[in-house]
Amino acid sequence: MARSQTSARKGEPLGDFTETIVDIDVTSEMEGSFLEYAYSVIYSRALPDARDGLKPVQRRILYMMADMGLRPDRGHVKSARVVGEVMGKLHPHGDAAIYDAMVRMAQDFSLRLPLIDGHGNFGSLDDGPAAPRYTEARLAAAALTMTDHLDENVVDFVPNYDNQLTQPEVLPAAFPNLLVNGTTGIAVGMATNMAPHNLVEVIAAARHLIANPDATLDDIMRFIPGPDLPTGGRIVGLDGIRDAYATGRGSFKTRAKVEVEQLTARRTGLVVTELPYMVGPEKVIERIKDAVNAKKLTGISDVVDLTDRNHGLRLVIELKNGFNPNAVLQQLYRYSPMEDSFGINNVTLVDGQPQTLGLVQLLQVYVDHRLDVVRRRTSFRLGKKKDRLHLVEGLLIAIVDIDEVIQVIRSSDEAAAARDRLMSIYDLTEIQANYILELRLRQLTKYSRIELEKEQEELRREIEALEAILGSDQLLRELVSGELADVAEKYGTPRRTVLLESEAVSPTVAASMAAPGPKGKAAALPLEIPDDPCWALLSVSGQIARTSNQEPLAEAGPRTKHDVFRSVVKTTARGEIGAVTSLGRMLRLQVMDMPVLPPVNGLPNLAGGVPAKEFITLLKGETLVAFVPLDAVLAIGTVQGVVKRVQPDYPLNREDWDIISLKDKDAVLAVEPAPEDDTDLVFITKQAQLLRFSAANVRPQGRTAGGMAGIKLAAGDEVIHFGAVRAGDPAAVVVTIAGTNGALPGTAPGTAKVTAFEEYPVKGRATGGVRAHRFLKGEDTLLLAWAGHGPAKASSAAGVARALPVEHGRRDGSGVPLSQPVEAIGPSMAGAESGDAAH
């Protein structure tokens, strides 16, 4: 290094100069400079102080905003103004770094308890904030507890960078900010990464530690079981959390909160309402699309972000038909940020030295800091009270003879003489005498002895209380604990993150994972839905669903809503069935499109189904009549008494076709599988005529045929029920419900009659049948009728269960009065299954 020295004056040419070259060891220079830089980064930038949990830039922002008077009850100011004040007075670095730190303290998805109340675009998990000239800010209510009592000598103040101003070395911090809000920072040779926690839990643990200084980690973890992330989500596995709490280092897995929902009648989806900490929806969508394009993820048809301000995060992942939602979710956890890992590294500054602390040590450092803050605050207040008491006592002495005091002051040549005379005459101290001299005359005379004596007593009580706190460690700890409790009550919120010891799975998922895999490990969930046997169900209230297996649908437990069935079809999860409409159309349905029934008491519950109108597109005036298998001979009955058995020669390249040619004003009433000739077909009309005849009398026809005469109808009569019953079935019954023609549905219960099916004789096809129900006075029609394998069940049109009489009607052939209106009759679970199996 060269240095020149010259005595040349300004304007004169340079003369001779002496050059001095100093040799410096590069290794020593590099070591010294690097250590200075590293220390500056560690102490002055990247690592937080364990006491208030703030880095220097964060501390300076909060202090300067408090000094500017930016309180929660005042208006916002431009963020650029705050950044300028901080940069010019306390933090001589770039404005971008200051604004970034300010923005993070205002983001509710970054901090569990934000310290700045931001107004404007302060960014999101996927986008950055607006420029500081466009945003506004003020202190949040919780930040006031961080800066309160700074004017009461609670912390040390140090000079700023140019020694013109002072700044607090640490903030008083009325709550454990480091644990509540966490932090992250990268220094030189070390880094810190601390997870946020719940304020109520952390304060409860701190209060327990205040009361029990020897508390163990297990004691503290009873209050703080784990982190509480601002964005909620799930934490899976708590072993890593305990390691981090014990040693200061550890990791845990976070997962999104996902629900399987039926998006439409045919489409299932995964709905994400909470994501892992610091993971945004756009990042998730991008990674999912990349994984789908790379063939790592299958079964996903679309991803839609429905997030808004009113409803919060809602990410809808639509699934293709035939894929297991839980298996797809496992893939998403593996190939997308919906599962993330958070590494805890509790490196923080303690007395200016970086240390890695466990949970108990972190709380202990904060508790010691808070005890010191309250002790210093109490000492400061005690000094102020004593000073005021000293002045009040001087006033009490002077007010005894106020006129003489005034005369002494007026007769003195100068203030010093007046002070000396007051001190000698009334035995006052110099401070008391100066205070009396500085008072205006009107102030001195307005004082009353009673008021001063009252203030004196109050000051003495306050001094006694403050001295008691300083003289008792127990009282000091109780005071700190009480103040912490007030903060928790004022700013505490419920826990957002759910803690799971292990991955929670539904019973269905657990059963599918129970099969052992290679080397004894649990087998992974099958990605696609297996072609397992199941039941396709259609209720009389129009609900559609399928079961998860083909277990017997035996009756058990109380009645449930929608448990009266119109059709029960044996099929498989990847199979196809037919849906017949009132216009004689048959539609091909994919069973896997149907929602799977949630079991209740081990039985399927059709309350989890979907309405037929949302699942099947029907024409105007068309209704869904029945579900049928595609490989069986079907018996069709119409409103005008036409019967037809149709062969299963359906087209393979069409989704819908006609299975009967109907006459004008005729409609399909019911369709039943009738492959065997020993099956009896049954018509029941409004005028209570029942015709039972053998299916052997109806030859199977092709799809375009119009059928043949089934029952001979009287004038004005029409069919209200058509069914197929196995001949000789001892459990078969006939249910008829009579009422008044023209009455509004559900206005009158009517009378019901339950009769054994075998009591009705077999007649020839195309005849009028026999009388099935004798009408009582006021009755002139059958409202409902049904024949089939019992026991029969009844419900309202909305699917609510209704009771039927147990007895088989009166001897005269009339029915038994009902207690409630019945608007639908059909087989129960067991009855529908048995009837279907019979065919």
Distance separating alpha carbons of residues 67 and 59, to the nearest angstrom? 12
Distance separating alpha carbons of residues 831 and 790, to the nearest angstrom? 5
Does residue 473 lie in a domain region? Answer: yes
Number of domains in the chain: 3
Does residue 589 lie in a domain region? Answer: yes
Distance separating alpha carbons of residues 322 and 320, to the nearest angstrom? 6
Q: Is the pLDDT of residue 443 over 80?
A: no
566 & 478 share domain: no
Q: Is the pLDDT of residue 604 over 70?
A: no
Inter-residue contact 194 to 210 (CB < 8 Å)? no
- Residue bearing the bigger pLDDT, 819 or 209: 209
Helix axes 402-411, 359-399, angle to 10 degrees: 80
305 DSSP β-pair partners: 315
Q: Is the pLDDT of residue 537 over 50?
A: yes
In which residue are the tokens 């454990």 written? 176
Please name the helix (run of DSSP H) or strand (run of DSSP E) that holds residue 585, with its range, or none.
strand 585-590
User: What is the side-by-side order of every strand in the sheet holding 576-581?
Assistant: 624-628, 576-581, 585-590, 656-658
Distance separating alpha carbons of residues 729 and 488, to the nearest angstrom? 72
Of the candidates 76, 75, 93, the one whose C-alpha atom is nearest the C-alpha of residue 84 is: 93
pLDDT, tens digit, 9 for 90 and up, residues 641-671: 999 999 888 888 888 899 999 999 899 999 9
Q: pLDDT value at position 1?
A: 40
> What's the average model confidence in pLDDT over 242-268?
90
Inter-residue contact 355 to 326 (CB < 8 Å)? no
Distance separating alpha carbons of residues 481 and 371, to the nearest angstrom? 10
Does residue 667 lie in a domain region? Answer: yes
pLDDT, tens digit, 9 for 90 and up, residues 327-368: 899 999 999 999 999 999 999 999 989 999 999 999 999 999
477 & 564 share domain: no
CATH of the domain at 630: 2.120.10.90
If one counts every other C-beta atom within 10 angstroms of the C-beta of residue 36, the result is 10
Q: Is the pLDDT of residue 511 over 60?
A: no
Q: pLDDT value at position 492?
A: 94
Q: pLDDT value at position 167?
A: 95
Q: pLDDT value at position 445?
A: 65
Burial group, residue 153, by CB count within 10 angstroms (0-12, 13-18, 19+) = middle
Of the candidates 704, 702, 534, 720, the one whose C-alpha atom is nearest the C-alpha of residue 629 is: 534
Cis-peptide into 159, omega within 30 deg: no
Of the candidates 568, 570, 564, the one whose C-alpha atom is nearest the C-alpha of residue 539 is: 564
820 & 767 share domain: yes
Burial group, residue 389, by CB count within 10 angstroms (0-12, 13-18, 19+) = middle
540 & 592 share domain: yes
Confidence band for 207, pLDDT divided at 50, 70 and 90: very high
Q: Is the pLDDT of residue 596 over 60?
A: yes
pLDDT, tens digit, 9 for 90 and up, residues 113-122: 999 999 999 9
Domain boundary among 109, 143, 172: 172
User: Please, what is the average pLDDT of the chain?
Assistant: 87
Does residue 220 lie in a domain region? Answer: no
Domain boundary among 465, 491, 517: 491
CATH of the domain at 413: 1.10.268.10
Task: For residue 395, report the phi and psi dihedrals to the nearest 5 degrees.
Answer: -65, -40
Distance separating alpha carbons of residues 24 and 716, to the nearest angstrom? 120
Inter-residue contact 592 to 571 (CB < 8 Å)? no
741 & 660 share domain: yes
587 & 484 share domain: no
Domain boundary among 143, 172, 201: 172
Distance separating alpha carbons of residues 596 and 105, to the nearest angstrom? 46
Domain hosting residue 60, numbered range: 54-172
601 & 653 share domain: yes
Confidence band for 6, pLDDT divided at 50, 70 and 90: very low
Inter-residue contact 769 to 711 (CB < 8 Å)? yes
Write out the two tokens for 531.
């072609």
pLDDT, tens digit, 9 for 90 and up, residues 383-440: 999 999 999 999 888 888 888 888 888 888 888 998 998 898 888 999 999 998 888 7
> What's the average model confidence in pLDDT over 791-810?
77
Query: For residues 351-375, b (16+ Cβ closer than 10 Å) or e, as one string?
Result: eeebbebbbbbbbbbbbebbbbbbb
pLDDT, tens digit, 9 for 90 and up, residues 468-499: 999 999 999 999 999 999 999 999 999 999 99
Of the candidates 622, 614, 613, the one whose C-alpha atom is nearest the C-alpha of residue 583 is: 622
Q: pLDDT value at position 742?
A: 73
628 & 750 share domain: yes
In which residue are the tokens 């205070």 written? 435
Distance separating alpha carbons of residues 536 and 544, to the nearest angstrom? 8
Query: For residues 310-338, b (16+ Cβ closer than 10 Å) or e, as one string?
Result: eeebebebbbeebbbbbbbbbbbbebbbb
The whole model's pTM is what?
Answer: 0.74
Torsion, Cα 169 172 178 181, to 10 degrees, reads -120
pLDDT, tens digit, 9 for 90 and up, residues 689-699: 999 999 999 99
Most confident of 12-26, 129-143, 602-616, 670-684: 129-143
Does residue 559 lie in a domain region? Answer: yes
469 & 564 share domain: no
Q: Is the pLDDT of residue 210 over 90?
A: yes
The residues annotated with a catalytic role in the active site are 134
Confidence band for 778, pLDDT divided at 50, 70 and 90: confident
